Structure 1
């Protein structure tokens, strides 16, 4: 930045709160949530939602579990008036959900808001007027007492209308741009407005303290909230609500700290959609709590549905790296990350504690309706752990640890060849091509039989006689041999009759499928006569003996081909 521009700006003043208590507190219970997607979120769209889209969004919010939903500013917009009437007249509002309407402190707007609410069972009327120093001096050119009078008169009109209203009306007041308002003045106007409504513990008033423009670091917002709560009269009759915007990119942090400072309620939107840089993201806030073992009282167990409805109704995309939700947030491309995740998932299978503890994954993707399929994706940055994880999670292949580096190199070569990310099926195709398919010019198994097995109870060993036919360089070779087992006998026959010099150094097997026709997969490592590089092979068959013979030939063929 140009140094001469700095003189235009000044830091937000600190709050005189020396013995602040919020830094030592933690969030242990969820706040009351109020969605403002249909108001703040809607007014931030290039193309505002139509009534059908609004209804779909409302129903989604109800499904998620919001008990308070701000449905709009019915006195200022025909479509918002008509939408509220549709909700009421067609019975879309569940008995346990309270709708909230916004109105400025202007008598005609207040009276029209109540007209729009006729027939509703429960509602919050949300009154606001601007209180900040800048707004008073530049926009309204009014002094503090004039601003207080405006707010108080609005509260009186609301009280008059509520007295004639059949439904249950609750009251909310917002000193707009609270964070740009002198704290003592914000307290004075809030108490003056609340006094008109005569709050009680049984019928508390909501005082909503918005960071209409995020002007400071999150700790200062928390200080402002704690200062306000300490000075507030009738605290037991007031619900302190937060409404943070995201101009500095810190709305989530600011809200979390302000909750620690004693706030009771949070207004925000899904995915943080709001004017300028947005409102606080309730979804992120809720899942942050969830990740700490706190019940957020909102249901995001099907996050893909939430995303899909949101995108369809608003026309806005969800960033692929959006916390908890984005397409790539549970995806690792880095080899070291993939290896750590793979090992963490393996350890989790044997952990009986029930606690989630996997590197790089703060929550279990399945808890929000995501699958493990996209946790690890394969590109040129990927390593051995990622390819092995894909093979295990998607296809059931549990590659031995010593086999993984070689397979990882093959997969990396493939990503560089195609120049893009590999799908899980493409990773499997590399495995099948390199390990399972017979190679040209190699040794092919034509026939294999175990002729006889002898078991010696005293020596705790068995002897097997085998017969086999293999094709070597387009000629058939008939093998007969005995050994400790069929595989040992086959190795001996290959050394003697095919002139091969190798040592079998590792053997692993496991069932690949379940049931009476289950297939077994075998992994074998061989070392050539020069005792240099080790070579792995794999084989699959319903007969475990045949799968081991196939794996041996796969390893030998790869060794001979230098592949």
Structure 2
């Protein structure tokens, strides 16, 4: 690409090796979650939330289980101020939920912030100022000492206003644009703020290290976090928080590695809504933990309902392939994937106590409110016999023989390919019935009776071209006798009769289902299915269906010749 020379690495590695995080295999417990949907997320919307929409969104976050929720920047606008006052005055904040507000390190903004917080039972006051090289040089044109003074003076003002405001307050500081700041300088400014606030076991302080703009690979951020964690003053009384954005598409990776490196708290949003490419997606992070057997301490058991409220309020659309929440993330169209998934589910039926390890499906969709029907296996021209057969079995109770599944799979794929569309399960069922079930043309089965001596003798009543006749046949079993009667009467030759039967376990439980496959002289298998309350009737109907498919496919004279003699 052109102009690549204008770009360089604008981040800073720690001055010493910080790689202890790399020796850890996985995250063992959930972090403290702080939703910033109502601040970062809201300011990123084309049309920001109204007051009533904010109140509804706040309740959604409470219902999910967030214990810390950033509700806005109350000094920034009257809408933000009014929202915070509504939460406090209408007593909408549960006792176990702490609200968080954002403020710049400027006295009139800090004063307005605490005015808005009056009467809050407990709140986090989030103080920030920008510290990066780019911000210092281009925006503020200030020295490092000038930037430190902004942070320290703000920390003192927050302390002063908290002391004279009703309520209980936790202090939080962010060196905004941390990822573009020299790590030693970020440490110095955070420690200077900690020196002001003097955290204790009873009054801990939050130091938040944001990926305001993502500049590096995730492992660099992890090393930065580890260095800060190892060198912060009064570390045992500091809650180390991270706030990743997603400019490079690595927000989730940044977060997970940062947790390994000493992070204890994450600020993010539902489905990653936020400025530019967004904040880190808490849904993905939480369910990633869940997939490793770690309780995320958030309730995402009904993702579809959460998604519906989110999309309605934000006017945003979650991408169909978005992890966990997207409509297609559990869906397989590929034939080989469908076959593996179907066999995986079948295996779980016999091993219900085993850990989840179904191929291609990272967690059980049912655990987050998704359905197997329409969510897991969907059918188009790329699908295979395994997935198509699985859907037919799961939804309608038809367990086709393997070779019949293959034959049916080709039929379904041909329809999908010809019509250039995905097929719904009802359409697949219609193809199955039309292709195989109780076929009565051109040879219609009416009745039968048997006589048993050394062999079975059948007397079979049939109709063809509106003409009724009774034919006879002998065989070593009843179905064999009927088969011989048909072959003799109509001069049909086939071999290798395959037979299978089972009770229909879905729908009408009184029905029996039979499948018959017969191989013609050219080696082609023709299949039929029979459904009836009586198992013998179902078997005979399956045989007639297979024979009718054979005579139609081979263009036997009885198909087109209405004068074909029955006598």
Under TM normalisation by the shorter chain, which class is it?
over 0.9
Contact preservation (8 Å) 1:208, 1:241: yes
Q: Residue 165 of structure 1 corresponds to which residue in structure 2?
A: 165
Aligned residue for 1:416? 417
How much does 1:96 deviate?
A: 0.5
**Structure 1 length-normalised TM:** 0.94
Say which of 488, 491, 497 aligns to 2:480. Answer: 488
Cα pair distance change 1:376/1:536, threshold 3 Å: same
Distance 2:422 2:181 in 1: 52
Structure 1 Cα separation of the partners of residues 297 and 165 of structure 2: 31
- SS of 1:372's partner is coil
Q: Secondary structure at the match of 1:96?
A: coil
Offset at residue 439 of structure 1 (A): 5.4
Given that 2:438 and 2:529 are in contact with CA atoms closer than 8 Å, whether structure 1 keeps it comes out as no
Structure 2 equivalent of residue 457 of structure 1: none
Which residue in 2 is equivalent to 1:24? 23
The alpha-carbon distance between structure 1 residues 285 and 142, as it changes in their structure 2 partners (threshold 3 A), is same
Separation (CA, whole Å) in 2 of partners of 1:86 and 1:385: 56
- Match 1:551 to one of 537, 542, 546: 542
Partner of residue 298, structure 2: 298
Count of residues in Structure 1 that have an aligned counterpart in Structure 2: 552
The residue aligned with 1:533 is 524
Q: State the partner residue of 2:324.
A: 324
CA contact (8 A) 1:504 1:524 kept: no
Per the alignment, residue 398 of structure 2 pairs with 397
Q: How far apart are 1:489 and its partner, in Å?
A: 2.6
- Measured in 2, the distance between the counterparts of 1:132 and 1:477 equals 95
Equivalents in 2 of 1:393, 1:17: separation in Å?
58
Mapping of residues 132-151 of structure 1, within 5 Å: 132-151=132-151
Instruction: Answer yes or no: is the 8 Å Cα contact 2:517–2:526 preserved in 1.
Output: yes
**2: distance between equivalents of 1:447 and 1:533?**
28
1:304–1:370 Cα contact (<8 Å) kept: yes
Alignment partner, residue 51 of structure 1: 51
Q: Secondary structure at the match of 1:382?
A: coil
> How far apart are the structure 2 equivalents of 1:6 and 1:553?
75
Are the aligned partners of 2:273 and 2:279 in contact in 1 as well (CA < 8 Å)?
A: yes
- Structure 1 residue runs without a partner (length 5+): 455-461
Partner residue in 1 for 2:471: 479
Q: How does 1:225-236 map onto structure 2 within 5 Å? A: 225-236=225-236
Q: C-alpha separation between the residues in 2 aligned to 1:242 and 1:515? A: 53
How does the TM-score come out when normalised to structure 2? 0.94
Indicate if the aligned counterparts of 2:438 and 2:530 stay in contact, CA closer than 8 A: no
1:275-315 deviation line (CA, Å, top 9, x unaligned): 01111111111111111111111111100011101101100
Aligned partner of 2:492 in structure 1 is 500
Residue 506 of structure 1: how far off its partner (Å): 1.7
CA–CA distance in 2 between the matches of 1:77 and 1:220? 37
Q: Report the equivalent of 2:407.
A: 406
| Alpha-carbon distance in 1 for matches of 2:507, 2:553 | 37
Q: Is the 8 A contact 2:104 2:128 kept in 1?
A: yes
Equivalent in the alignment of 1:12: 11
Alpha-carbon offset, residue 494 of structure 1: 2.0
Partners of 1:92 and 1:279 lie apart in 2 by 26
Q: Could you tell me how far apart the structure 1 residues matched to 2:152 and 2:312 are?
A: 41
Q: Which position in structure 2 is the counterpart of 1:542? A: 533
Q: Determine the C-alpha separation between the residues in 1 that align with 2:9 and 2:257.
A: 23
SS at match of 1:447: strand
| Cα distance, 1:481 vs structure 2 | 4.7
Q: For residues 100 and 517 of structure 1, what CA distance do their matches in structure 2 show?
A: 58
Residue 503 of structure 1 deviates from its aligned partner by 2.6
Indicate the RMSD between aligned Cα atoms, in angstroms.
1.9
Q: CA deviation at 1:453?
A: 6.5
CA distance in 2, matches of 1:61, 1:186: 32
- CA, structure 1 residues 310+214, in 2 after alignment: closer, same or farther (shift >3 Å)? same
Contact 2:438–2:541 (CA<8 Å) still a contact in 1?
no
Q: Report SS of the residue matched to 2:318.
A: coil
Query: Which sections of structure 2, spanning at least 5 residues, go unmatched?
Result: 555-567
- Match of residue 156 from structure 1: 156
SS in 2 for 1:240: strand
Q: 1:521 aligns with which of 501, 513, 517?
A: 513
Deviation at 1:468, TM superposition (A): 2.6
Alpha-carbon separation, structure 2, partners of 1:61 and 1:466: 72
1:73-101 CA distance string (max 9 Å, x none): 01111111111111111121111100000
- Describe how 1:344-359 pairs up with structure 2 within 5 A: 344-359=344-359
- Give the secondary-structure state (helix, strand or coil) at the position aligned to 2:274: coil
- 2:124 equivalent in structure 1: 124
Match in the other structure for 1:111:
111
CA contact (8 A) 2:472 2:485 kept: yes
Pair 1:537–1:16, CA change in 2 (3 A): farther
